[in-house]
Structure 1
């Protein structure tokens, strides 16, 4: 991928302002595209757009589908404009806030709206031809997803406890289900149709305004997912279809017992025998949504930490080699431009570095990791950045820059002051790191919106190692720095990250004398 010197902002859709309890793909998303354009940014980076669930505290990295879109992001206002809902059918949700997402209240509200939209569709058949076209285009994953959703409602969560003929996907049982649950299956497909229709319209508008999207793919998928149920052969499962081994990371400086994520690990041997077809399809799906895709937990494409399923911690795991070279050789044929970013943070070994180098993946530099006792050799210091990379002040897994600064020890604060050559306090640190990232040789500089506008740790999106109170932060409409767009634009110009479009003057025709 040929990166051009530019900048972007990291903000998940759920964090946008709206009157419906959660950010969505409606007017506030279009307004944010306008802000990106006016402020001279090129990229809008997002977290995964897959469906979320209360069982996983609505983490976008723990979904029950690697292909579907999150219905909670559907805009009620756009549903009215699309004539799927009437104005009087859209009331404001109760028990919601403009500061945080109350997922329980939002889910109850949105499900009711979507149910009504489907009823209206069945009566009017508006967009029926477009809906059928969508179903045919996405058939490869949509059929399994819709069935999984219907069976979950019918038999409960935990697909290994479903009737054996459904759990094992026997042909006769599946064909019978299509007849017995025809309308419920159609409804699940319709919800996805609404999501993709609104998303494609937003992407089209962004591209018209020269804005591109950076998306994100979690490495693993949940056992409780349509993907695992439909493709059991691609995961290490026992005869009961339960995981034999699960994912995690080994003990390190931050955790004596490591991290036990609990998702089933892939059976890469079988995947390789089938030319990695499921992964290829997954990447294709994400490139329908985004212009560039960040590959989360990239090091697992080289080797992953595998833990026996019965273990309570990640201590007794082991590294298992992944056929990453063979995988990416095939991916290179499918996607010659290789529009992927490697999440290469953390402890890496030589095979990972070789994989990054072999396929020329741009990696990540996080300024929050740059300051402390280790000075000249710290790879996250700007003078050590490689041009073919992306620099961040922080990510969705970091504290905000204000919160980060307040947590620094004296050594790190002194190093930061010496490096920047400026007097720094918690009110100014975000502007210092913003300019530092803009000056970096990294081709792309990305800033969480929280850092761009200087919010404190109350605006943290996610704290790794915890499950509660994450993914809920929302920006208020008045906090989006629309009035400072010109100032940000000028800074992007100053540091070579934006060029004013050249307006060609029309040549005057010479008058005949």
Structure 2
């Protein structure tokens, strides 16, 4: 059980942002090398973004499954070592080391996985096939529906499930039984892909844990409409008889978004989930804790009250706030699984009921230092106003980098930050890292971009936008010099978050 009360520090870096030869970061050698770098820098947390398959806009928050892992994260080196795949030949021109070209990477890597599966079918040892079968039996509670869903999606050329033949769309038992026979080979492929993902993820997590580093995962609150989850249990979502949402998720209008944000995710039928003692959520959290030691739960306020938008409304202007499941949900999950190592993403419009739910569950919330300089000394995100049950961030994947923030901040914000920290444009990133580390918050986490002092060109995501600038950032090892590791180690040790004796301390 991960201790949420300890004083710790870590780095936020998504797996896909790692270096590597195959177009996107994965669970290969560079991931293990990064664990070693974290240990040398005195860190005890490696925070990931969701590791689910990507969805529209290449976002891991719009996934085809709440349970499955991303095939793009499977390291090809491991498949070669198993004898299932020949050493991959890169496409003409290779891959960009600094950015994920999803259009190019997805097609190429999927082809490599198909070749590796053919090799597995032809060459795998009985012990390997037995391990796959045992794992599949253990994960059947989500895997069976997912693998069939992916096989049917493939057979339908990627068309969404509500356009399939009514018998398959509506999960007629006879039609599903026939489909399992007809698509047995494809089901075997998707089962094998997930087994490879889990095997490699477990090896990396084990390597990190052995070196005193916990993996912090990320669990999106909602699922995509076109998902195995929605297809498998449509009764748990606000859908009509044709599988179309009657209401969708989003956020109300504000100064930043005059018409609000219409995310489009189908909303849960919390009343029906409650009648099943929230079993789906217990399964989902069980799965998350199999892949990480602690996880951040996205849009936590939605469990206290969520914004419901009529599906017929093209914007979020006609929505309304509706009470969420509240503490009953987390009580049921804890009853099923035990104490929950959860960090609540409690940013945005936070009302007293959200605070009551967060504190009642004993979950730490989040503070973002970039948000602290628009007001005055009473701002709750300033380090001197923090509480222990918090995770202090310089920024998250949805924010600009610290240096990018400084470059675009108002003169007043720069003056306030420069005086408070104190800092200037030359050392603002280290000043913010140090301020978060020195706060009383139990956790302090820094995006790697901020540790490296990178500008806005290196940010991970711009919320509310689509395009290849999102989710595609990668670093290369020459960017991560020994000085960054030394200074991060110093700050971590002197703030009581890491071992003395590192980087010239002690």
Q: Scaled by the length of structure 2, what TM-score is found?
A: 0.96
Q: Deviations over 1:75-94 (max 9, x none)?
A: 1112112322233xx11244
2:29 to 27, 31, 47: 27
CA contact (8 A) 2:423 2:431 kept: no
CA contact (8 A) 1:35 1:482 kept: no
- Any stretches of 5+ residues in structure 1 without a counterpart? 503-513
Q: For the residues of structure 2 that align with 1:113 and 1:201, how far apart are their CA atoms?
A: 21
Q: For the residues of structure 2 that align with 1:204 and 1:147, how far apart are their CA atoms?
A: 30
- Alpha carbons of 1:342 and 1:203: their partners in 2 closer, same or farther (altered >3 Å)? same
Partner in structure 2 of residue 438 of structure 1:
437
Partner in structure 1 of residue 485 of structure 2:
485
- Once the two structures are TM-superposed, the CA of residue 255 in structure 1 deviates from its matched residue by 1.1
Partner in structure 2 of residue 57 of structure 1:
57
**DSSP 3-state at the match of 1:57:** helix
Q: Deviations over 1:464-493 (max 9, x none)?
A: 110112000110121123454343223211
1:208 to 207, 210, 216: 210
Q: For the residues of structure 2 that align with 1:484 and 1:320, how far apart are their CA atoms?
A: 46
CA contact (8 A) 1:21 1:93 kept: no
- Alpha carbons of 1:107 and 1:333: their partners in 2 closer, same or farther (altered >3 Å)? same
- Once the two structures are TM-superposed, the CA of residue 432 in structure 1 deviates from its matched residue by 0.9
Equivalenced residue count is 495
Partner in structure 2 of residue 506 of structure 1:
none
Larger radius of gyration: 1
Query: What are the equivalent positions in structure 2 for 1:242-321 lying under 5 Å apart?
Result: 242-321=244-323
Q: For the residues of structure 2 that align with 1:94 and 1:299, how far apart are their CA atoms?
A: 47
- Once the two structures are TM-superposed, the CA of residue 428 in structure 1 deviates from its matched residue by 1.4
Query: What are the equivalent positions in structure 2 for 1:92-491 lying under 5 Å apart?
Result: 92-94=90-92, 96-126=95-125, 127-156=128-157, 157-372=159-374, 374-420=375-421, 422-425=422-425, 427-468=426-467, 469-482=469-482, 484-491=484-491
CA contact (8 A) 1:248 1:314 kept: yes
Q: Deviations over 1:125-173 (max 9, x none)?
A: 3310111011101111111111111111112412111111111111111
CA contact (8 A) 2:383 2:436 kept: yes
Q: For the residues of structure 1 that align with 2:340 and 2:9, how far apart are their CA atoms?
A: 20
2:89 to 91, 101, 111: 91
- Once the two structures are TM-superposed, the CA of residue 501 in structure 1 deviates from its matched residue by 8.8
1:10 and 2:12 correspond: yes
- Once the two structures are TM-superposed, the CA of residue 367 in structure 1 deviates from its matched residue by 0.3
CA contact (8 A) 1:299 1:348 kept: yes
1:72 and 2:76 correspond: no
Root-mean-square deviation (CA, aligned residues, Å) is 1.4
- Alpha carbons of 1:330 and 1:128: their partners in 2 closer, same or farther (altered >3 Å)? same
Range with bigger deviation, 485-494 or 241-250: 485-494
Q: Deviations over 1:222-278 (max 9, x none)?
A: 110000000101100111111000000001121111100011000000000011111
CA contact (8 A) 2:84 2:124 kept: no
Range with bigger deviation, 332-341 or 383-392: 332-341
Q: Deviations over 1:415-440 (max 9, x none)?
A: 112212x3411x31101111111111
Q: For the residues of structure 2 that align with 1:84 and 1:362, how far apart are their CA atoms?
A: 44
Q: Scaled by the length of structure 1, what TM-score is found?
A: 0.94
- Once the two structures are TM-superposed, the CA of residue 337 in structure 1 deviates from its matched residue by 2.4
**DSSP 3-state at the match of 2:118:** helix
Range with bigger deviation, 246-255 or 482-491: 482-491
Q: For the residues of structure 1 that align with 2:387 and 2:481, how far apart are their CA atoms?
A: 30
CA contact (8 A) 2:248 2:263 kept: yes
- Alpha carbons of 1:345 and 1:277: their partners in 2 closer, same or farther (altered >3 Å)? same
CA contact (8 A) 2:282 2:337 kept: no
CA contact (8 A) 2:451 2:484 kept: no
Partner in structure 2 of residue 505 of structure 1:
none
Q: Deviations over 1:77-127 (max 9, x none)?
A: 12112322233xx11244520111001111111111111111111112331
**DSSP 3-state at the match of 1:370:** helix
CA contact (8 A) 2:401 2:459 kept: yes
CA contact (8 A) 2:281 2:333 kept: no
Q: For the residues of structure 2 that align with 1:396 and 1:486, how far apart are their CA atoms?
A: 24
CA contact (8 A) 2:452 2:484 kept: no
Q: For the residues of structure 1 that align with 2:396 and 2:92, how far apart are their CA atoms?
A: 31
- Once the two structures are TM-superposed, the CA of residue 339 in structure 1 deviates from its matched residue by 0.2
